[in-house]
Amino acid sequence: MAAKLRSLLSPPLLHLLLRTSSSSSSAVLTFQRALHSQMGAVVTLKSEVALKELHEAGLLRSQGLIGGKWMHAHDGRTLPVYNPATGELIINVPFMGEKETELAIDAAWDAFPSWSQKTALERSRFLYKWYELLVAKKEDLARLMTLEQGKPIKEALGEVLYGAGFVQLYAEEAKRVYGDIIPATLPDRRLFVLKQPVGVVGAITPWNFPLAMITRKVAPALASGCTVIVKPAELTPLTALAAAELALQAGIPPGVLNVVMGDAPQIGSALLESTKVRKITFTGSTAVGKKLMAGAAKTVKKVSLELGGNAPCIVFDDADIDVAVRGTLTSKYRNSGQTCVCINRVLVQDGIYDRFAEALKKAVLALQVGNGLDDGVTQGPLINEAAVKKVEAHVQDAVNKGANILTGGKRHSLGSTYYEPTIIGNATEDMLIMREEVFGPVAPLIRFKTEEDAIRIANSTEFGLASYLFTENMSRGWRVAEALEYGMVGFNEGSISTEVAPFGGVKQSGLGREGSKYGIDEYLEMKYICLGNMKV
């Protein structure tokens, strides 16, 4: 460690370290400030190297994609994209609005007839090529994602492969959109059911998974014959643009995939009001999802919504503590707690509470916080200052209502938007953190006595996306899994997302499913054909 630190320091700073190592606290503070300055220079250099490599690879795009052409905003306005780990400006992208969105809708509308009329095998080949390029460029895409979103490079690489998996899956499912022949009620009739693409799709995606949330929507849409306008999050548009560049390289025709970003209300309104757009698919907050659902009603668009969560994790007395801690750690602290399926409430039965809390604390203390580009980092920064303030408010509310901090509970010494991985003990149901998504690296522990108590507490929310339980009693596990009012249940497992299983929630956590063989149905309409006057 000392050798590594020494290699990062300039000779004057190293001399300052030696001179102040046993001196006053003010001298040490002077050194710490100098060290942070020096480390900032190292971080900046790493970012610059990564950006240079991305530019050389042709993946650092700074324009929107409309009809196969890279375009600026018509009025020249731009949107800055920052690195949350350092606060540095990465690049400016177009601040687009209604006009650019209408152009993208027209491009998708014009491209739809020829794309939808291609055979399933033809569309499958395009998707396979896109998949191969995503995998071939996985390291570049992971670096880009870490720069604009902040997650550790290992997690970013995992997301690239996860996101590419959706493209591969739907390259295969494109050839499996089957219809039906229904037994006729009269001898001179034949009854058929066909499945056809919905049409132009507006896809609105979040910042926490800049690639996977796009491919999870775009891949089944393209496989079914739809064309798409993607609006990525304003905070993380660069990964979306890089993925679109690779789609062009894969030969996907102009207008089939378009990307606009900027003025979210204008872009959303244009998508909702256009009669050419036949479907809206959205991942994000429940509040925004409700607005989109209401707006889509005006033109009766098909809607898929993957909305907020408030995932409970139930740890029973008979759980394997190592398995439960590992699963909780994986789900709660992945992406620094910024996922919609993150554990938000940890319900621990009385008999195991103290042992579980101590084991989880030990595991959390081993997490390494830092810039996602650095080796060994497992916790990156939160996305922005607003995210930090929300976490702080939840933690303070819990403390005010009697909770105790087992570890963490404050901003990290690295500054910026880093927050210490945190565990809160003795949480109660009236705390904000038990009722709202914290979207940060904070795990509140609440005690329960009986299975019935656990189910009641777990279900006492308007949300119903993901849930988790840990027990060695299989009968209890199945019973509780069936009683939980959630679209997904992790049973002795904290990592449940996979492209081959249906992803989605119930109650106010959304409509429809993404991923798996079921996901492509969200982009298809059934058509019934009655053939009469058959000679018998």
The CB density around residue 511, as the number of other CB atoms within 10 Å, is 17
The CB density around residue 489, as the number of other CB atoms within 10 Å, is 18
Dihedral (Cα; 70, 141, 501, 479), 10-degree rounding: -130
Which of 328-366 are b and which e, b meaning 16 or more Cβ less than 10 Å from the residue's Cβ? bbbbbbbbbbbbbbbbbbbbbbeebbeebbebbbebbee
The CB density around residue 123, as the number of other CB atoms within 10 Å, is 23
Strands of 398-498, DSSP E: 404-407, 422-425, 442-448, 466-470, 488-491
List 226, 313, 340, 342, catalytic entry: 340
Rg (CA), the chain: 25
Q: Side by side, which strands form the sheet with 524-531?
A: 180-182, 190-197, 524-531
Whether 313 is a known active-site residue: answer no
3-state secondary structure of 489: strand
Compute the distance between CA of residue 272 and CA of residue 251 in angstroms, rounded to an integer. Answer: 29
- Name beta bridge partners: 153: none
Whether 340 is a known active-site residue: answer yes
Which of 276-290 are b and which e, b meaning 16 or more Cβ less than 10 Å from the residue's Cβ? bbbbbbbbbebebbe
Compute the distance between CA of residue 460 and CA of residue 443 in angstroms, rounded to an integer. Answer: 18
- Residue 511 tokens, joined: 């409509």
Strands of 244-371, DSSP E: 257-259, 277-283, 302-306, 311-315, 343-349
Cα angle vertex 240, ends 391, 51, to 5°?
85
List 102, 306, 437, 514, catalytic entry: 306
Left if phi > 0, otherwise alpha if psi is -120 to 50, otherwise beta: which for 94?
Answer: beta
- Residue 337 tokens, joined: 């707690």
Residue that is written with structure tokens 């055979």 in the block:
119
3-state secondary structure of 384: coil
Enumerate the active-site residues: 306, 340
